[in-house]
Amino acid sequence: MIELKTPLKKEDVLKLKAGDKVVISGTVISARDKAHAFMLSEDFPKAKDAVIYHCGPVIKDGSVISAGPTTSARMSQYTPELIGRYGVKAIIGKGGMDDSVLCALKGRAVYLSATGGAAVTYAQAMKVKSVSKEEFGMPEAMWEFEIRNFPAIVTMDAHGKSLHKKVLEDSGKSFRGMI
Amino acid sequence: MITEKATFDLYKKVSTELPTDVMSELVRAHDNEEDGSLGKESLGHMIDNAKKAAELSRPMCQDTGTPFFYVNCPKECSQKEIKEAIEKATAKATEEVPLRPNAVDTLTDKNVGNMPVIHFTEGNELKVGLLMKGGGSENVSTVYKLPDASIGAGRDLEGVRRCVLDAVFKAQGKGCPPYSIGVATGGSIEEAAHLSKMQLLRKVDDINEEKALSEFEEKTLRDVNNLGIGPMGLGGKSTAISLKAAAGNRHPATYFVGISFGCWCMRRGQL
């Protein structure tokens, strides 16, 4: 298990390999579709060198109740520009992202998979630090969280390797053999 | 009559407690995956999370999903009153469970709380089924129109099997596998989609009375698991824990196949 602390440095990111298990402590910012569009149309300094978490949490009276990852594929279209513009160092989500993102990660950042639906477990490792754009609604607002020993798996590394791509290729062979 | 209280209790149970048959299948899948694999680790997270959610009475998943109600009511019941009770219970559950407010006005983009979808049928017995279905699994749900030359699918159960495999292959890990899968044929797009979603209410051990369909369910589930997509799409033996099918009548000119995915935390319950 590799321990990571934010702010992540380039060398922290470059030493990670697809398949590595990590625990992260420090600060992450939640962002979904609308927040991504916002960060590309306006300046959002908090995203500089940040860890972005694809998550729309349940927050009640300032406490994190339930906060697992959302499907990352929807954010693929925004992500190369997000990494280029803000130097985002890591993205936490589920389901993986496309080849344009794999290319944008090269030498710069990693994609980490969390288990979808394991939302109570993750919530217990998270505290709210602040919130931006609350008017977007609870799921779409950008929540800044303090996290402690948040577990994840490196599934797309900064060296062009993607476990999602491997499963896609292997399952494609099986699929073609069955039709 | 269905009360607001009973519906609120149903929301609370469905959002915080994984059905026991689903839990048993996840435990079985966990035992079946290779030691040290990412698939086994993901299943471990799922089982652990479901236990914590039940203990703490918190929603298993942050995504409330869309609440789909299937209400069968006797003729003396008022559909209007049932609808009002469900809507009040939805607002109360959103506040008190709590559930993430999840409905967005498409034109203004404003979050407007949670909006249940309610389907009514009439029958002798009052029955209410609830599915809380996340956006990830809904996004990979789909409808095919047969024949479909791209996958060599003709107008028969073999064609339907090919649709299912194609849909699962395209879904990969995006909808949080291991999936529960509902499949239905029908004469129109919405009928096939609706009937396929209703199959998700069926328990894992519910065997189809129609032999051709029970054989189809068994074989197609086996094929789905041979794709190797695995828990969370990270590879492994468990891509689906359940596959249930129904065959609705069709128009001679049409052959639609609806495929509905439920994520691993298949939130369903009944009153």
What is the secondary structure of chain A as a DSSP string?
-EEEESSPPHHHHHT--TT-EEEEEEEEEE--HHHHHHHHHS--GGGTTPEEE----EEETTEEEE--PPBGGGGGGGHHHHHHHH---EEEEBS---HHHHHHHTTT-EEEE--TT-HHHHHTTEEEEEEE-GGG-TTTSEEEEEEEEEEEEEEE-TTS-BHHHHHHHHHHHHHHHH-
User: For chain B, what is the mean pLDDT?
Assistant: 97
Q: How far is CA A137 from CA A11, A26, B91, B164, in A?
A: 36, 25, 16, 35
CATH number of A2-178: 3.20.130.10
Read out DSSP for B150-164? GGTB-SSHHHHHHHH
Contact: B100, A67; criterion CB under 8 Å: no
What are the residue boundaries of the structural domains of chain A, listed by start? 2-178
Read off the pLDDT of residues B10-33 as tens digits, 9 standing for 90 and up.
Answer: 999 999 999 999 999 999 999 999
pLDDT of A176 reads 97
A interface mutation test: which of B37, B100, B102, B108 has the most A CBs within 10 A?
Answer: B100
Q: Please state the φ and ψ torsions of residue A123, each to the nearest 5 degrees.
A: -55, -35
Read off the pLDDT of residues B53-76 as tens digits, 9 standing for 90 and up.
Answer: 999 999 999 999 999 999 999 999
Question: Could you say which of A60, A67, A71 has the minimum Cβ distance to residue B98?
Answer: A60
Write out chain B residues lying below 8 Å of A121, CB-based: 45, 48-49, 52
Residue B7: which H helix or E strand, with range?
helix B4-16
Contact: B101, A139; criterion CB under 8 Å: yes
Q: Using only C-alpha atoms, what is the Rg of chain B?
A: 19
B1 pLDDT above the threshold of 90: no
Read off the pLDDT of residues A96-129 as tens digits, 9 standing for 90 and up.
Answer: 999 999 999 999 999 999 999 999 999 999 999 9
> pLDDT > 90: what percent of chain B?
99
Q: How far is the C-alpha of B17 from the C-alpha of B187, rounded, in Å?
A: 36
What are the residue boundaries of the structural domains of chain B, listed by start? 136-266
Are the CB atoms for A30 and A157 separated by under 8 Å? no
What residues of chain B, 162 to 221, have a C-beta less than 8 Å from chain A? 162, 165-166, 169, 172-176
Q: How many residues belong to chain B?
A: 271
What residues of chain A, 65 to 104, have a C-beta less than 8 Å from chain B? 65-68, 70-71, 73-74, 94-96
Q: Would you place residue B112 in the very low, low, confident or very high pLDDT band (cuts 50, 70, 90)?
A: very high
Tokens of A33: 């579709």
A134 interfacial to chain B (CB closer than 8 Å): no
Read off the pLDDT of residues B188-229 as tens digits, 9 standing for 90 and up.
Answer: 999 999 999 999 999 999 999 999 999 999 999 999 999 999
